[in-house]
């Protein structure tokens, strides 16, 4: 570990320790009326778990390269899951206890300025605010616990009618199923979840299946347990795919560039084994009843991530007067380059909807919207459209909270 990385780790641990100390202060204040024995047991339990998490973080950081090389995701996912499960409730407790401290400070200041004007029945702290914070902390705890255990298992079928210009009449009602960000290395032994997703896709009787990148986390062999399962996907007009930022192996250390290239070649062969035509800066005609449209696929291109794609090469030879559908993994590509080409519809993924979200009055809010202008769902500008899929799998945080995995069924309609 470099000196800079070590310094960042120490700073990170120091901040976490401050949160732990202040959160415990809020908990002990909220429960100050409880029996001493109960408080003692709770204190021992709290600090045992909190220090245990810090130790796990230190161990994970020190062994990061070894864990990554051995593809040991179970340990890191466990640490990340427990970290979020406990951190978010602590943040709620810290916020409310801080508010209580502020109220108490103002009360004492007012007492000094105008003695005897405030109620003195309870000279101690105003415990009510900390108690509210402790009660509300159960909400993120329950939500994250659900997301870790169940939230990533249940797919949302998003049925999206899309009116598009220049669509040949033969394709009116054409059903395109989009999947994205499978991250198969994250599923471990959960074969039932992947199989359930495949069964749901086939049940939609798609005309076309499009996969918009990130089949794996880093390594080609992550997909190998699922080759036969995914090969079972069926579509009348074929299955097509592109690469996402994780598929190139850029986030791993390789013994040589040759080994890295061999990994990518192996991954591309897996696409063929599963029956997908992998599009790398190229286009193909999709034909039906004597009519056709252009399906275009580019390699990863994003404003913050790798820019391997060559859009000009991919669209060369397509007819801008006819319907064109583009697969590009990163939605930032749309504003940066794609809209200038006049492509009618682009399909993307990449964001996962941050794997966190909350829906209020039919509107979903997510941390992803702080990073991406287009992060989930259908967008339209000047008659051109973009759909961003929320992803099939997960990475990093081993779950989904209020942001279920998505299978998108786009029904093309003549505008």
CATH code for the domain in which residue 181 is found:
3.60.21.10
pLDDT of residue 119: 52
| CA separation for the pair 301, 298 (Å, rounded) | 8
143 with 182, same domain? no
Average pLDDT over residues 154-181: 96
Q: Which two tokens stand for residue 235?
A: 């579509």
| CA separation for the pair 359, 224 (Å, rounded) | 36
pLDDT of residue 61: 81
- pLDDT above 80: residue 144: yes
Average pLDDT over residues 322-346: 97
Q: Are 238 and 277 in contact (CB under 8 A)?
A: yes
pLDDT of residue 234: 97
Task: Report residue 211's pLDDT band, with 50, 70 and 90 as the boundaries.
Answer: very high
Q: Which two tokens stand for residue 74?
A: 């179970």
Q: Got the DSSP string for 194-257?
A: HHHHHHHHHHT--SEEEE-S--SSS-GGGGGGGHHHHHT---TT-EEE---GGGG-TTS--S-H
Query: Closest Cα to residue 252, out of 373, 6, 71, 404?
Result: 71
Average pLDDT over residues 55-76: 76
204 with 312, same domain? yes
Task: Report residue 252's pLDDT band, with 50, 70 and 90 as the boundaries.
Answer: confident
| CA separation for the pair 300, 259 (Å, rounded) | 20
pTM of the model: 0.89
- pLDDT above 80: residue 328: yes
pLDDT of residue 32: 84
- pLDDT above 90: residue 105: no
Please tell me the least confidently modeled range out of 45-54, 87-96, 293-302, 358-367. 358-367
User: 253 vs 331, which has greater pLDDT?
Assistant: 331
Average pLDDT over residues 187-195: 87
- pLDDT above 70: residue 37: yes
| CA separation for the pair 366, 369 (Å, rounded) | 6
164 with 265, same domain? yes
pLDDT of residue 86: 94
Render pLDDT for 350-375 as a digit per residue (tens, 0 to 9): 999 999 999 888 888 999 999 999 99
pLDDT of residue 103: 84
Q: Are 198 and 233 in contact (CB under 8 A)?
A: yes
Q: Are 330 and 386 in contact (CB under 8 A)?
A: no
Query: Closest Cα to residue 142, out of 86, 74, 91?
Result: 86
Average pLDDT over residues 252-268: 94
pLDDT of residue 121: 42
143 with 178, same domain? no
Task: Provide the total of helices (H) and of strands (E) in the chain, helices listed first.
Answer: 11, 14
User: 100 vs 392, which has greater pLDDT?
Assistant: 392
Task: Report residue 190's pLDDT band, with 50, 70 and 90 as the boundaries.
Answer: confident
pLDDT of residue 78: 87
Q: Judging by beta carbons within 10 Å of its beta carbon (0-12, 13-18, 19+), is residue 218 exposed, middle or buried?
A: buried
Average pLDDT over residues 305-329: 96
Q: Are 172 and 412 in contact (CB under 8 A)?
A: yes
pLDDT of residue 11: 94
Domain boundary among 149, 169, 201: 149
The DSSP bridge pattern shows strands 406-414 and 174-179 to be antiparallel
* Average pLDDT of the chain, as a whole number: 92
Task: Report residue 189's pLDDT band, with 50, 70 and 90 as the boundaries.
Answer: confident
197 with 48, same domain? no
Percent of the chain with pLDDT over 90: 77
As for how many domains the chain has, the answer is 2
pLDDT of residue 233: 97
For residue 371, give the H/E element and its range. Answer: none
User: 142 vs 110, which has greater pLDDT?
Assistant: 142
Domain boundary among 117, 149, 181: 149
Please tell me the least confidently modeled range out of 44-53, 110-119, 338-347. 110-119
200 with 231, same domain? yes
Q: Got the DSSP string for 263-278?
A: HHHHHHHHHHHTT-EE
80 with 206, same domain? no
pLDDT of residue 72: 64
Q: Are 390 and 351 in contact (CB under 8 A)?
A: yes
- pLDDT above 50: residue 123: no
206 with 112, same domain? no
122 with 165, same domain? no
- pLDDT above 60: residue 118: no
- pLDDT above 90: residue 90: yes
179 with 93, same domain? no
130 with 191, same domain? no
| Helix-strand-coil split of the chain, %, nearest 5 | 50, 20, 35
Q: Which two tokens stand for residue 247?
A: 């598929």
140 with 196, same domain? no
Classified as helix, coil or strand, 327 is strand
User: Can you point out the beta strands (E) in 116-207?
Assistant: 156-164, 174-179
Domain boundary among 125, 149, 173: 149
pLDDT of residue 361: 86
- Which domain range does residue 103 map to? 3-149
Distances (CA, A) of 373 to 39, 326, 378, 407: 47, 19, 12, 21
């Amino acid at each position: 570990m470099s000196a800079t990385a070590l310094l960042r780790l120490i700073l990170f641990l120091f901040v976490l320790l401050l949160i732990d100390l202040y959160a415990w202060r809020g908990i002990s204040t909220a429960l100050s009326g409880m029996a001493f024995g109960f408080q003692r047991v709770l204190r021992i339990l709290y600090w045992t778990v909190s220090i245990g998490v810090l130790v796990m973080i230190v161990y994970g950081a020190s062994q990061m390269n070894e864990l990554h090389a051995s593809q040991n995701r179970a340990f890191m996912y466990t640490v990340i899951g427990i970290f979020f499960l406990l951190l978010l409730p602590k943040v709620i407790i810290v916020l409310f206890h801080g508010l209580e401290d502020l109220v108490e400070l103002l009360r004492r200041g007012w007492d000094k300025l105008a003695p005897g004007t405030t109620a003195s029945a309870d000279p101690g702290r105003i415990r009510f605010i900390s108690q509210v914070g402790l009660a509300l902390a159960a909400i993120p705890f329950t939500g994250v616990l659900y997301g870790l255990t169940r939230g990533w298992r249940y797919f949302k079928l998003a049925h999206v009618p899309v009116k598009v210009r220049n669509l040949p009449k033969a394709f009116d009602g054409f059903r395109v199923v989009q999947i994205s960000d499978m991250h198969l290395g994250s599923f471990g032994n959960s074969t039932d979840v992947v199989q359930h997703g495949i069964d749901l896709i086939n049940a939609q009787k798609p005309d076309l299946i499009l996969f918009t990148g990130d089949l794996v986390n880093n390594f080609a062999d992550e997909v190998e347990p699922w080759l036969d399962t995914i090969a079972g996907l069926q579509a009348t007009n074929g299955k097509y795919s592109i690469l996402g930022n994780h598929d190139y192996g850029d986030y791993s250390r390789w013994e040589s560039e040759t080994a890295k290239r061999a990994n990518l070649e192996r991954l591309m062969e897996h696409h063929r084994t599963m029956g997908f035509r992998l599009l790398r800066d190229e286009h193909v005609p999709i034909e039906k009843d004597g009519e056709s449209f252009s399906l275009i696929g580019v390699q990863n291109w994003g404003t913050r991530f790798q820019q391997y794609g060559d859009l000009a090469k991919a669209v060369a030879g397509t007819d801008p007067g006819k319907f064109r559908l583009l697969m590009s993994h990163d939605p930032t590509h749309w504003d940066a380059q794609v809209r200038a080409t006049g492509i009618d519809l682009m399909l993307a993924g990449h964001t996962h909807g941050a794997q966190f979200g909350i829906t209020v009055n039919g509107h979903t809010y997510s941390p992803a919207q702080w990073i991406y202008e287009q992060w989930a769902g259908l967008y339209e500008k000047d008659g051109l459209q973009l759909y961003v899929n929320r992803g099939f799998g997960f990475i990093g945080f081993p779950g989904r909270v209020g942001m279920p995995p998505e299978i998108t069924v786009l029904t093309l309609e003549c505008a």
